[in-house]
Amino acid sequence: MMKETDLPLNDRLTVEMTYLSNERSLLAYMRTFIVFLSSGFAILKIELFSELEYFGWTFIGLSVIILGFGIIRFFGTKKKVQKILNTLLQTT
């Protein structure tokens, strides 16, 4: 069985770019989570928006869903890439 270092440079770089892209996507989900969460808290704390309180709670709820979705996608993609890499190592 081949090691990852035995792959051609092009294949190694492709796998590394995919890992980095996956991490970048997770960071984007985390950034969106923080924006939604802080917006929800801001709406809840500003008395001028007291009639829009349900929007604040909606934003807080959505932020948790967005973070969960991002984490699930991160680990799912990581698992798929590892599976493809293992297949590539076995066939070459």
- Asked if pLDDT for residue 1 goes beyond 70, the answer is no
pTM comes to 0.83
Running DSSP on this structure, what letter comes out for residue 13?
H
Q: What DSSP element (H or E) covers 67?
A: helix 53-91
Give the pLDDT of residue 91. Answer: 75
- Both structure tokens of 19: 């890992």
Give the pLDDT of residue 92. Answer: 62
Contact yes or no for 41/60 (Cβ under 8 A): yes
pLDDT tens, position by position, 38-91:
999 999 999 888 899 999 999 999 999 999 999 999 999 999 999 988 887 787
Residue 19, classified by CB atoms within 10 Å of its CB into exposed (0-12), middle (13-18) or buried (19+), is middle
